[in-house]
Amino acid sequence: MDFQKINSMGFGEFVDVFGNIIEKCPLIAAAIWSQRPFADLADLEKHVFDFIEALPQSGKEGILRCHPDLAGRELQLGTLTPESQREQRNAGLRDLDREERRQMDQLNCEYKKLFGFPFVIAARLSDKATMMRELARRLRNQPSQELCAALDEVRKICHLRLEDILRSPMDP
Amino acid sequence: MDFQKINSMGFGEFVDVFGNIIEKCPLIAAAIWSQRPFADLADLEKHVFDFIEALPQSGKEGILRCHPDLAGRELQLGTLTPESQREQRNAGLRDLDREERRQMDQLNCEYKKLFGFPFVIAARLSDKATMMRELARRLRNQPSQELCAALDEVRKICHLRLEDILRSPMDP
């Protein structure tokens, strides 16, 4: 898909294609449609990141709260968004053994209680051992520091999802 | 459901229950969870409306773009959100005759071309004749005036959806 095609999209098609580059936040793609034309991937994602940056802290936390648990019940049930399902499955998170699952559940729980949002990490850039180590490490962050770290992961996930879309054929 | 129960919800449950009070924008419910406890419906919705008001214009337009067409293809296919499906069906929008559907399609199309977002109206407070008249009338608004009118409808829809949730039994 190229930017001539992207810049010619009506908002309906644009939101269909880009609505989940930020997990479950089609509002963001729908907002930045106002700012087309986009020069390239970097330009489009800059508008996304600027939109997020301009949100109040509650809005930034809200974005994180739209993300699913890592290796949670929805992954097992297959009810994640297609993007999340693929990302978590490919990172090996469906293949945790009993002890790994218990540990992950416990750390996820502690994390959510402490920060008020779920642990978010770009699963495609990681593997299950690293993710568990990161989860334990980031639990020791200060809240403001962890909000930044988590939003940084949101941006990485967005970048990878945008790359996928741009690599996809023009007429799927 | 009462506010003691609502204020005790974790963010996961809160977003499950209130995620669609603004159509397809769970980000907003997820954001205002930071601001609990809420005193009552008026207090909760004030946080929602303040969040929307603080968005840049592109974000306000983005909210409108997350709304479906009135009497559009998704209504016929049954692929709207459950709330929208019920609202549009109860307003008689599944029962348009061929000529009414043609007119509605044409007006929707003109409206989207002119304003860059779909025509939004609180269908439950209206009927098909009134909605068609309103659509034709609002097409003559200035863009800034129409953005305000449309967001006013978003607030009415939100209020009605909140009332529904609060009327629902504690343990459905």
Question: In this model, does residue A20 exceed pLDDT 80?
Answer: yes
Q: From CA A147, how far away is CA A166, in angstroms rounded?
A: 29
- Interface contact A31-B61, CB threshold 8 A: yes
Average pLDDT in the B27-56 region?
Answer: 97
A27 in contact with B, Cβ within 8 Å: yes
Would you tell me how many other CB atoms lie within 10 Å of the CB of residue B169?
6
**A24, A29, A32: residue with CB nearest B26:** A24
Q: Give residue B106's identity as a one-letter amino acid code.
A: Q
Taking the Cβ of residue A11 and every Cβ of chain B, the question of whether any pair is shorter than 8 Å is answered with yes
Q: Between the ranges A127-136, B59-68, B84-93, where is the mean pLDDT highest?
A: B59-68
* Alpha-carbon gap: B34 to the closest alpha carbon of chain A (Å): 6
Question: Do the chains contact at A28 and B58, CB–CB below 8 Å?
Answer: no
Percent of chain B past pLDDT 70, that is, above it, reads 98
Q: What does the pLDDT read at residue B169?
A: 81
Per-residue pLDDT of B71-116, as tens digits, reads 888 998 889 999 999 999 988 898 899 999 999 999 999 999 999 9
Tokens read off for A162 = 């945008």
The one-letter code for the residue type at B130 is T
B172 has pLDDT over 60: no
Structure tokens at A149: 């770290």
Tell me the C-alpha distance between B93 and B75, whole Å. Answer: 8
Q: Which residues contact A7 (CB under 8 A, 6 or more apart)?
A: A36, A37, A38
Query: Using CB atoms, which residue from B12, B30, B59 is nearest to A62?
Result: B30
Assigned fold of A69-153: UraD-like (1.10.3330)
Cis preceding-peptide flag for A118 (omega within 30 of 0): no
Inter-chain residue contact A65 with B35, CB threshold 8 Å: no
Question: Residue A162 CB: number of other CB atoms within 10 A?
Answer: 17
Determine phi and psi for B48, rounding to 5 degrees: -65, -50
Pick the CATH number of B69-156 from 1.10.3330.10, 3.40.80.10, 1.20.58.1290, 3.40.710.10: 1.10.3330.10
Preceding peptide of B82 cis, ω within 30°: no
Q: How distant is the Cα of A92 from the closest Cα of chain B, in angstroms?
A: 24
Alpha-carbon span A149 to A146, nearest angstrom: 5
User: Is residue B67 classed as helix, strand or coil in its secondary structure?
Assistant: coil
The separation between the first and the last C-alpha atoms of chain B, rounded to the nearest angstrom, is 10
Q: What is the structure's pLDDT at B107?
A: 95
Q: Is the pLDDT of residue A172 over 60?
A: no
Determine the distance from the C-alpha atom of residue B146 to the mean position of all C-alpha atoms in its chain, rounded to a whole number: 15
Segment B158-168 mean pLDDT: 95
Q: Which residues of chain A lie closer than 8 angstroms to B66, CB-CB?
A: 15, 26-27, 30
Q: Are B74 and B106 in contact (CB under 8 A)?
A: no
- Residue pointed to by tokens 């004030």: B46
Token digits for B135? Answer: 């659509």
Please answer yes or no on whether A51 and B63 come within 8 Å at the CB atom.
no
Q: Are A62 and B117 a contacting pair at CB < 8 A?
A: no
pLDDT in tens, A143-157: 999 999 999 999 999
Whole-angstrom Cα distance, residue A52 to residue A150?
13
Give the mutation candidate from A27, A51, A60 for the B interface (greatest B CB count, under 10 A). Answer: A27
Task: State the catalytic residues of B.
Answer: 67
Contact pairs from chain A to chain B, CB under 8 Å: 97
Specify the pTM.
0.94
Angle at B121 between CA B17 and CA A30, to 5 degrees: 70
Question: Contact at 8 Å (CB) between B66 and B19?
Answer: no
Domains of chain B, by residue range, sit at 3-62, 69-156
Summarize pLDDT for B125-156 with one digit per residue, the tens.
999 899 999 999 999 999 999 999 999 999 99
Which pLDDT tens digit goes with each residue over A80-128? 999 999 999 988 898 899 999 999 999 999 999 999 999 999 999 999 8
Residues in chain A with CB shorter than 8 Å from the CB of B32 are 58, 62
CB A128 within 8 A of CB A92: yes
Average pLDDT value for residue range B36-59? 97
Interchain contact, B31 vs A62, CB within 8 Å = yes
Decide if B61 and A34 are in contact by the 8 Å CB cutoff.
yes
Q: What is the pLDDT of residue B170?
A: 65
Mean pLDDT of B144-169: 96
How large is the ipTM? 0.93
- A101: tokens are 């699952």
Supply A96's token pair: 């945790």
Position A1 scores a pLDDT of 85
**Active site includes A67?**
yes
- pLDDT of A170: 65
Q: Are B34 and A112 an interchain contact pair (Cβ–Cβ within 8 Å)?
A: no
Decide if pLDDT at B171 tops 90: no
Q: What is the largest CA-CA distance in chain B?
A: 51
Compute and round to an integer the Cα radius of gyration of chain B.
17
pLDDT tens-digit map of A23-79: 999 999 999 999 999 999 999 999 999 999 999 999 999 999 999 999 898 998 889
CA distance A22 to A161: 9
Q: What is the spatial distance between Cα A118 and Cα A130, in angstroms, rounded to a whole number?
A: 17
Residues 107-166 on B with a CB inside 8 Å of A are 112, 116-117
- Using CA coordinates, name the residue in chain A closest to B58: A31
Q: Return the pLDDT at A171.
A: 59
